[in-house]
Amino acid sequence: MAYLFTSESVSEGHPDKVADQISDALIDNFLAFDAESKVACETLVTTGQVILAGEVKSNTYLDVQQIARDVIKKIGYTKSEYMFEANSCGVLSAIHEQSADINQGVDRATKEEQGAGDQGMMFGYATNETNNYMPLALDLSHALLIELANLRRENNEITYLRPDAKSQVTLEYSDDNKPQRIDAIVISTQHDDFDQEEAMLAKIKKDMIEILIPRVKAKYPQYAHLFNDDITYHINPTGKFVIGGPHGDTGLTGRKIIVDTYGGKGAHGGGAFSGKDPSKVDRSAAYATRHIAKNLVAAGLCDEVLVQVSYAIGVAKPTSINVNTYGTAKVDLKDGDISKIVETIFDMRPYYIEQRLKLRNPIYSETAAYGHMGRTPEVVTKTFKSPDGQSKTVEVELFTWEKLDHVEKVKAAFNL
């Protein structure tokens, strides 16, 4: 019997994502001037206020207030009526030095034996139902909000949009787990104030269906066949949505971990990503397991896979590595045997993850909205400025964990 599955996304202007983007901007600035920085930085945003807290071990000094303001401005909170505005909001920093008790478990006499920054388990997932090996409902949810943000910045076809927004997509799957059609789409978008509520709500719904949806279909033609005349649309279902962003809801770093990963597919170990340098395996090992999962599916080993890894704080070697192919493996091996072979292909010690995926570079700001997984690897040039007038320009590779650079190794190991 057919079944329904739903995933959601939130925009870069959502208060939790504002917090994530500020935290990751701090990470990038620390790493740009000191690649060995150890950082765990949390951000809270609310009406007219940003609060930074966390632990840092670094040889550089940053103007954290200016970095936060630059992020807020880039997102689009630039008007006083938003009650949260880049130039006028207060920024309070309570960042302090990292605990020596934690640092002694990470740093070792040789870099290769670097210990895990925390205990815990991390998951990576991949499926062949999309070109980027991501769950379709989440991919579409992100696409809707990326295009909505483009429309807001263009300020041409739609002129009333504000930065905060959420989306949700419900798909119908067949008995053999193939997506058949879109059953429902939910879009809640913040907007300018207006006099006639009914007329404006009707216009917002019309614009979402007649402007936004066609743009998504055009930009993602591989999904166009899933759209149909029977989709149930819920556009701003509560009605008026003028008060939003940090003024409408307090935002915190690390509260959108399912949006950041697989939209409810696979599994999640519970650890957030943003604000953490790669010594924290919550982040680096989650990227590494996604890298494994994507290369396994792309190599044709299976149609769908979940990879789990776990660590003890201060210990380099993982306490476990597990592969679950959901019965879709194309080789005559049990999942336990597949796990053992995978362990020989991918070294999951923290230092080797950092080296393999080039994680000691300032690459994290781009991850902090619209998902950490399923993105396109690319090389970009970024410039950072320090309070003492130093300027540093670096060329970095983004989303290295999305590269299909181990497909041939997987095929060789499994005789594919």
Residue 325 in domain = yes
In this prediction, residues 283-311 reach a mean pLDDT of: 98
In this prediction, residues 355-362 reach a mean pLDDT of: 98
- The string of pLDDT tens digits covering residues 222-277 is 999 999 999 999 999 998 999 999 999 999 999 999 999 999 999 999 999 999 99
In this prediction, residues 357-374 reach a mean pLDDT of: 98
> Do the annotations mark residue 101 as ligand-binding?
no
- The string of pLDDT tens digits covering residues 380-415 is 999 999 998 889 999 999 999 999 999 999 999 999
SS3 147: helix
SS3 388: coil
Q: Given this model, what pLDDT does residue 103 score?
A: 55
> Do the annotations mark residue 8 as ligand-binding?
no
Residues composing the chain: 416
> Do the annotations mark residue 175 as ligand-binding?
no
What are residue 9's DSSP bridge partners? Answer: 167
Q: pLDDT band at 109, cuts 50/70/90?
A: low
Residue 296 sits in the same domain as residue 211: no
| CA distances to 121, 235, 414 from 330, in Å | 27, 42, 10
The amino acid that residue 179 corresponds to is P
Q: Given this model, what pLDDT does residue 100 score?
A: 58
Q: Are 123 and 348 contacting, i.e. CB atoms less than 8 angstroms apart? A: no
Residue 86 in domain = no
Q: Given this model, what pLDDT does residue 407 score?
A: 98
Residue 407 sits in the same domain as residue 298: yes
Strand 391-398 relative to strand 378-385: parallel, antiparallel, unpaired?
A: antiparallel
Chain centroid to CA 205: 28
> Do the annotations mark residue 240 as ligand-binding?
yes
Residue 305 sits in the same domain as residue 393: yes
Q: pLDDT band at 114, cuts 50/70/90?
A: confident
pLDDT > 70: percent of the chain: 97
> Which of 221, 244, 267 is the endpoint of a domain?
244
Q: pLDDT band at 64, cuts 50/70/90?
A: very high
- The string of pLDDT tens digits covering residues 116-151 is 878 999 999 999 999 999 999 999 999 999 999 999
> Do the annotations mark residue 280 as ligand-binding?
yes
> Do the annotations mark residue 276 as ligand-binding?
yes
> Do the annotations mark residue 332 as ligand-binding?
no
> Do the annotations mark residue 98 as ligand-binding?
yes
Q: How many domains does the chain have?
A: 2
Residue 73 in domain = no
What are residue 179's DSSP bridge partners? Answer: 173
CATH number reported for the structural domain that contains residue 344 in this entry: 3.30.300.10
> Do the annotations mark residue 113 as ligand-binding?
no
Highest mean pLDDT among 11-20, 97-106, 174-183, 311-320: 11-20
d(CA 30, CA 317): 27
Q: Are 41 and 213 contacting, i.e. CB atoms less than 8 angstroms apart? A: no
Q: pLDDT band at 106, cuts 50/70/90?
A: low
Residue 197 sits in the same domain as residue 294: no
Mean pLDDT (the chain, rounded): 95
Residue 189 sits in the same domain as residue 210: yes
> Do the annotations mark residue 272 as ligand-binding?
yes
Residue 328 sits in the same domain as residue 410: yes
Residue 124 sits in the same domain as residue 149: no
The answer on pLDDT for 104 being more than 90 is no
d(CA 240, CA 75): 22
| Nearest to 274, CA basis, from 293, 263, 287 | 287
Q: Given this model, what pLDDT does residue 108 score?
A: 54
> Do the annotations mark residue 85 as ligand-binding?
no
Q: Given this model, what pLDDT does residue 284 score?
A: 97
Q: Are 82 and 247 contacting, i.e. CB atoms less than 8 angstroms apart? A: yes
Q: Are 169 and 187 contacting, i.e. CB atoms less than 8 angstroms apart? A: no
Q: Given this model, what pLDDT does residue 344 score?
A: 97
Residue 225 sits in the same domain as residue 352: no
Residue 168 in domain = yes
Instruction: Please give the residue range of the domain that contains residue 166.
Output: 3-10+136-244
> Do the annotations mark residue 194 as ligand-binding?
no
Going through 354-413 in order, the beta strands assigned E by DSSP cover 378-385, 391-398
Q: Given this model, what pLDDT does residue 390 score?
A: 87
- The string of pLDDT tens digits covering residues 317-347 is 999 999 999 999 999 999 999 999 999 999 9
Look up the pTM and report it: 0.96
In this prediction, residues 191-198 reach a mean pLDDT of: 87
Taking CA 114 as the corner, what is the angle to CA 305 and CA 93, rounded to the nearest 5 degrees?
90
Tokens of 343: 């362990």
Helix (H) or strand (E) holding 402: none
Q: Given this model, what pLDDT does residue 107 score?
A: 60
SS3 28: helix
> Do the annotations mark residue 164 as ligand-binding?
yes
Non-local CB neighbours of 38 within 8 Å, separated by 6+ positions: 55, 56, 57, 58, 98, 103, 106, 117, 277, 279
What are residue 194's DSSP bridge partners? Answer: none
Taking CA 136 as the corner, what is the angle to CA 132 and CA 140, rounded to the nearest 5 degrees?
95
Residue 373 sits in the same domain as residue 399: yes
> Do the annotations mark residue 172 as ligand-binding?
no
Q: Given this model, what pLDDT does residue 262 score?
A: 98
Q: pLDDT band at 102, cuts 50/70/90?
A: low
Residue 337 sits in the same domain as residue 292: yes
Tokens of 325: 């192919």
